């Protein structure tokens, strides 16, 4: 007869810590391979890789953290794979511990939502325990289930978890701003208010798909790095090219390109609201010959339409 001190149950594990570690180890190895695979994908398709990471792969181990207590230390290999492979491929920069802490924040707190598993596992499990407290007490006492009470417990636990996470991440941002200065403080404020594009699913149909350069450059600018592959000189004025110069040069191509992007986007929306034939990106400018022809075909007061057509034919023949 075979005896065990633990068993898998509803995506989690119930039993001794030794058996739990044995059960979690192959799962962690599978997720490490998934992270390394996404790192390879991120080299060419960073937006798609980040969407798969934040929506799909990350949700698998988050479920484990919510259902199994004390699983955080067993997921450290995943942390190491994210810091060593996935994040450098996503941003094309080396990621140290301080930068990794910032990236682990939520998007509204200047991060990218890649939550730290070793630090967040205990809080996630505690939030799940609080959310199911009413349901568990009803099952233990064999009483009547109160749906409204259970929904209130879930809502309160979720709100308390989000508020506590926002408070901790806000304090971490304040410490980082105090250490690095006013410029870093302003950059963190901008990042907190301008990160919705990181949560958008890539869609070619709706124009929500960013190229690898667009996504990576936007991410690098979000964290104070220069975009990769900047030219040394401006093509318009031959001055030293920087991000600030590219956004303000009156004769360079970036300002014109930015205006053209707005024009094309507005025209695309107008074509969906109206007919494509009713939309023009540039007004038609009539030349001299067009103006003469319009004047020649105009009806002269006191004459008939046939007289005007005969005079136009005579003028054309001459």
Between the alpha carbon of residue 44 and those of residues 48, 55, 90, 91, 205, the distances in Å are 9, 19, 9, 12, 20
pLDDT at 317: 46
Rounded Cα distance, 189 and 221, in Å = 13
Between the alpha carbon of residue 259 and those of residues 215, 271, 283, 289, the distances in Å are 19, 18, 16, 31
Which residues in the chain show pLDDT less than 70?
A: 1-4, 6, 9, 116-118, 252-259, 283-318
Q: Which two tokens stand for residue 308?
A: 């005007």
pLDDT at 247: 77
pLDDT of 288-315, one tens digit each? 555 555 555 554 455 454 444 444 454 4
pLDDT of 70-108, one tens digit each? 888 888 899 899 999 999 999 988 888 889 889 999 999
Q: Closest Cα partner for 131 from 103, 150, 144?
A: 150
pLDDT at 306: 47
CB half-sphere exposure, 276, CA atoms < 13 A = 2
pTM more than 0.85? no
pLDDT at 294: 53
Q: Which two tokens stand for residue 46?
A: 């960073």
In the three-class reduction of DSSP (H, G, I as helix; E, B as strand; rest coil), residue 200 is classed as coil
Rounded Cα distance, 108 and 162, in Å = 11
How does DSSP assign 160-188, residue by residue? HHHHHHHHHHHHHHHHHHHHH-HHHHHHH
């Amino acid at each position: 007869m075979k005896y065990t001190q633990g068993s898998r149950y509803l995506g989690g594990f119930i039993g001794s810590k030794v058996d739990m570690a044995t059960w979690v180890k192959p799962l962690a190895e599978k997720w490490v391979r998934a992270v390394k695979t996404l790192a390879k994908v991120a080299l060419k398709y960073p937006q798609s890789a980040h969407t798969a990471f934040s929506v799909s792969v990350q949700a698998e181990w988050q479920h484990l953290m919510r259902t199994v207590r004390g699983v955080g230390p067993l997921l450290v290999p995943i942390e190491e794979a994210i810091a060593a492979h996935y994040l450098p491929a996503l941003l094309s920069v080396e990621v140290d511990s301080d930068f990794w802490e910032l990236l682990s924040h939520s998007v509204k707190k200047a991060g990218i939502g890649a939550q730290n598993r070793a630090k967040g596992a205990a809080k996630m499990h505690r939030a799940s325990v609080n959310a199911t407290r009413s349901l568990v007490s009803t099952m233990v006492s064999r009483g009547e289930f109160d749906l409204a009470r259970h929904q209130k417990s879930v809502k309160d636990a979720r709100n308390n978890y989000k508020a506590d996470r926002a408070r901790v991440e806000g304090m971490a941002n304040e410490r980082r701003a105090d250490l690095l200065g006013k410029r870093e403080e302003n950059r963190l404020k901008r990042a907190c208010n301008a990160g919705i594009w990181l949560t958008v699913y890539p869609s070619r149909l709706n124009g929500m798909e960013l190229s690898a350069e667009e996504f990576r450059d936007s991410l690098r600018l979000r964290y104070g790095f220069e975009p990769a592959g900047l030219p040394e000189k401006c093509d318009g004025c031959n001055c030293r090219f920087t991000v600030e110069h590219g956004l303000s040069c009156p004769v360079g191509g970036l300002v014109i390109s930015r205006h053209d992007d707005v024009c094309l986007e507005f025209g695309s929306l107008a074509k969906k609201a109206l007919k494509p034939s009713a939309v023009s990106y540039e007004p038609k400018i009539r030349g001299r010959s067009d103006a003469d022809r319009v004047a020649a075909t105009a009806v002269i007061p006191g004459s008939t339409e046939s007289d005007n057509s005969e005079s136009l034919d005579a003028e054309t023949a001459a």
